[in-house]
Amino acid sequence: MVQEGDTVLPIPDATIPAIPESIIGTDNRSIVSNTTLFPYRTSCLLVITFPDGISYGSGNLISSDTVLTAGHCVYDTRYGGWATRIEVYAGRNGSYSPFGKANSKSFYTLDRWINLTSKEYDYREYDIGYIKLDQKLGKTTGWLGLTTTLSNDISLTGFPAPRDRGYKMYSQKGKLKNSAANKIYYDLDTEGGQSGSSVYNTGNQVIGVHAYAHGTVNSGTRMNLQNFEIAKKIADTAILSYRSHVQNIGWQGWVNDTGISGTTGQSKRLEAINLSLSDSSYSGNIEYRAHVQNIGWQGWQKNGAMAGTTGQSNRLEALEIKLTGELAKIYNVRYRSHVQGIGWQAWKSNGQMTGTTGQSLRLEAIQIQLVKK
């Protein structure tokens, strides 16, 4: 891994990357009308100043102050090498920037992306980059999770041809078509400007970063184990995932920080919940316990174990969540619940109770977030 200012080798003209734009048949992308909704608000328009000109790209927040993007959005020899400045607009919607502007503080990419003269590998398989911000924008927007597990159902959200498209956000769902050790291939439509957009699963976890077009298929850099470990180190964040068992639905998919698990407006009870922090680089656990209809407070569970019940039609009525070990010294855990007849309660933290006891009210949805101290 290298960072801004390191000595790099020049790139010969013959190895200039393919342009990252390809509409595969009919253009199936849609404009995102409300860019303040999760996960769309994690998607960022990048205005990139290079030594030899201005370029545009996309990225996604993966921590409170880290944006995941393509390597050629931070280092591109066509524009003189390293970017000198990147302006970041999360949730941009035309001329409106609902979360304001953040600026880059530093950039990172891989040695194998900038060492482009090597004949030992295809440098385009390492086209991934990171931007550290001058503010913790993700505390407001939340961020996407990361996973090394591939998924068939995927989405891609970004900003195609920003000036021509009026700085509008576009999104599309599609299918993973193929994969290799360092690459993923998919049928999602893209245009220039969407380089750096995260390819993510239904649990809002990134499996790759869009970078190239191939006519009948588009491709990105895979979030393999190496890239996963580098991303965790740069982001310096623990990755929290959670899911709930919902009345008449069963287990929903995993969501990440600030994602909603459960339902609202459907009068469905939460029956059980799993929380997972298995990818944390710090010692300690996330622990949680549930107050369950006809049972009361259950014992404390941790790291993926189930709290609540399934197959008994018992509602969850309250939850308590806490951190232990190094995690508790570095993070606060915040959470809130949507309660029958009440709606969203205020945020609670670090072992406080969310929900109610003694009132026979069901929990209907939950949001959980790790916030660095």
Catalytic residues: 72, 195
| Cis omega (within 30 of 0) for bond into 39 | yes
Q: CA 273 to CA 172: how far, in whole Å? A: 29
Q: Residue 41: CA atoms inside 13 Å, Cβ hemisphere, count?
A: 19
Q: How far apart are CA 108 and CA 158, in angstroms?
A: 20
Using DSSP, state whether 286 is helix, strand or coil: strand
Cα-flanking dihedrals φ and ψ of residue 302, to 5°?
-155, 150
Closest by alpha carbon to 335, among 293, 285, 275? 275
Best CA proximity match to 137, nearest among 235, 276, 227: 235
| Residue 107 near residue 50, CB atoms below 8 Å | no
Q: What is the CA radius of gyration of the chain?
A: 21
Cα separation, 194 vs 212, in Å, equals: 10
Pairwise CA distance, residues 333 & 95, whole Å? 34
Cα dihedral 302→308→309→310 (10° resolution): -80
| Paired sense of beta strands 145-146 and 205-213, if any | parallel
Q: Which DSSP category does 263 fall into?
A: -
**Is residue 169 a contact partner of residue 40, using CB atoms and an 8 Å limit?**
yes
Distances (CA, A) of 282 to 5, 29, 232, 323: 30, 39, 11, 11
Q: What are the phi and psi torsion angles at 174 (to 5°)?
A: -165, -160
Q: Which two tokens stand for residue 39?
A: 């996960």
